[in-house]
Amino acid sequence: MSGTAHLADLYARVEESAGLLGVACSRDTVLPVLAAYEDALPHAVIACRVATNARHEGEFDCRFTLPHDIDPYARARSHGLLAATGHAVDTLLADIRQRCSIDSYGIDFGVVGGFRKIWVYFPGDDYQSLNKLVGIPSMPSSLAANVGFFADRGLDDRVDVIGIDYRSRTVNLYVTGIPDEFRDPQAVLAMHRDLGIPRPSEQMLRFCAKAFGIYTTLNWESERIERIAFGVRTQDPLSLPARLGPKIEQFVRDFPYGADDPKMVYAAMTSSGEEYYKLQSYFRFRTRSRLDLMPSADSAATSCA
């Protein structure tokens, strides 16, 4: 398939999928993002994400992976997807690249809002420590302010992924391989309490019992962690002990791609008390990808107590 035909086919899939949720796909917004990374798309893991919170209402998010030899920020700038703002977020990726080994990257965009995030995936045998990350000059100071939260739980050397959101100027910090004891309801409650984040619902506590990892969201404006989320990998999202809501349930039933691929579901709680869920499903999933190594909620080892 030629490059032009490949882009047209992928755009058609994105447009069709967004239409399942009544979201109008903007060709002028989506195609420039795809075209900027056209050379990497034939070999990329390609996914979409649906969220139940108010901020994502009327939006449909997509993402794809990139090899480590592509500088995703430089590519975005050269194609007019990002502009320099003078904020520390502009230099964060370059600072990470200088100091850390990188396995691969990811790009996140909305069919309405356009280019949004760059994901940095660290090698599976070289997870990053918080002591190293807090030394990065452009990293939000809120990370240093919350090192104790992770260190007290023995999670300060398990950073697997960093997400840089250029629109909201936030950073997502992913920690994978959390021990079984941190999926216990009392441990989950303690995490929320220690971060000053409201108590999660009972259904979220049941959901977290199946989690393989957590992520937190930080910014440059506050010392607080503004959100914590728990990730679950499953073949059947509707079997999870959580009410995902009609939007996600409809999408799971109607999405025509990746029926046999695993799904990623996240339960998030913000500092303002908003609790919501996100579903990630795949247009194209690669076996032996790093996501395929995550424990599944469908196995007995991660069943809900």
User: Which pLDDT score is estimated for 266?
Assistant: 95
Q: Rounded to 5 degrees, what angle do the CA atoms 155, 158, 164 make?
A: 110
Q: Worst-scoring range by mean pLDDT, 91-95, 164-168, 175-179?
A: 175-179
Mean pLDDT over each residue of the chain, to the nearest integer:
91
Beta-bridge partners for 65: 106
User: Which pLDDT score is estimated for 58?
Assistant: 87
pLDDT at position 301 over 70:
no
Q: Which two tokens stand for residue 292?
A: 């395929």
pLDDT at position 276 over 70:
yes
pLDDT at position 300 over 70:
no
Average pLDDT over residues 188-195: 96
Residue 230: what residue type?
F
Average pLDDT over residues 218-223: 96
Listing DSSP states for 231-284 in one string gives: EEEES-GGGSSS---HHHHHHHHH--S-TTS-EEEEEEEETT--EEEEEEEEEE
pLDDT at position 305 over 60:
no
User: Which pLDDT score is estimated for 6?
Assistant: 83
pLDDT at position 2 over 70:
no
What pTM was computed for the model? 0.92
> How far is the CA of 200 from the CAs of 36, 39, 182, 190, in angstroms?
40, 43, 15, 11
Average pLDDT over residues 132-150: 96
User: Which pLDDT score is estimated for 53?
Assistant: 83
pLDDT at position 192 over 60:
yes
Q: In terms of residue numbers, what domain contains 240? A: 3-302
Residue that is written with structure tokens 């424990």 in the block = 295
Q: Which pLDDT band holds residue 3 (cuts at 50, 70, 90)?
A: low
User: Which pLDDT score is estimated for 46?
Assistant: 96
Residue 208 and residue 170 in contact, taking contact as beta carbons nearer than 8 Å: no
**How many domains is the chain partitioned into structurally?**
1
Q: Worst-scoring range by mean pLDDT, 149-158, 174-183, 226-235, 281-290?
A: 281-290
User: Which pLDDT score is estimated for 10?
Assistant: 95
Helix, strand, coil content of the chain in percent (nearest 5)? 35, 25, 40
Q: Which pLDDT band holds residue 177 (cuts at 50, 70, 90)?
A: confident
Average pLDDT over residues 173-186: 91
User: Which pLDDT score is estimated for 303?
Assistant: 34
Q: Which pLDDT band holds residue 295 (cuts at 50, 70, 90)?
A: low
| Cα–Cα distance measured from residue 198 to residue 78, given in angstroms and rounded to the nearest whole number | 42
Q: Which pLDDT band holds residue 126 (cuts at 50, 70, 90)?
A: confident
